Chain A
Amino acid sequence: MEEEALKTEPEMDTETSFWGTHRFMLLITMTVVIASILVVISMTLYSTSGAAQLDLSRPGYRGVASQAASNDNNFGEYANSGPINSDSVNQFKTLYEKQAAAAQAVDAYAGDPLNPDSLGISDPTNN
Chain B
Amino acid sequence: MKKVGQLIVIGAVASLALATVLVGAIHAQSTPLSDAQLTRIRSSCVSVENTLAQLHASDALLRVNRGQIYESMSTKLMVRFNDRADSNHYDISDLLSVTQNYGAALTTFRADYVTYEQQLATAIATNCTKQPQAFYDAISLARTLRSQVHADVTRLNEYISDYDNVFNVFVDTEVTGK
Contacts and interface: CB of A to CB of B under 8 A. Distances in A.
Interface string B154-169: 0011001101100100
Contact of B113 (A53, A80, A96, A113): A53
A123 B37 CA distance: 5
Interface residues of A, number: 56
Contact of A120 (B44, B66, B85): B44
Interface of A: 47-48, 50, 52-54, 56, 60-61, 63-64, 67-69, 72, 75-86, 88-89, 92-93, 95-97, 99-100, 102-104, 106-110, 112-116, 119-125
B73 A99 contact: yes
22 contacts: A60-B53, A60-B57, A64-B58, A69-B65, A69-B68, A72-B68, A81-B87, A82-B84, A83-B88, A84-B90, A88-B84, A103-B157, A107-B153, A109-B146, A109-B150, A114-B142, A119-B51, A120-B44, A121-B37, A122-B37, A123-B34, A123-B40
A69 B151 CA distance: 23
B98 interface: no
B48 interface: yes
Contact of B77 (A63, A92, A116, A122): A92
6 smallest CB-CB distances across A and B, nearest first, come from: A114-B143, A109-B150, A80-B80, A80-B83, A64-B61, A123-B37
B113 A50 contact: yes
A28 B66 CA distance: 46
Nearest to B156: A103
Main secondary structure of the interface of B (DSSP, over half): helix
Interface residues of B, number: 65
B62 interface: yes
B81 A92 contact: yes
A36 to B, nearest CB: 14
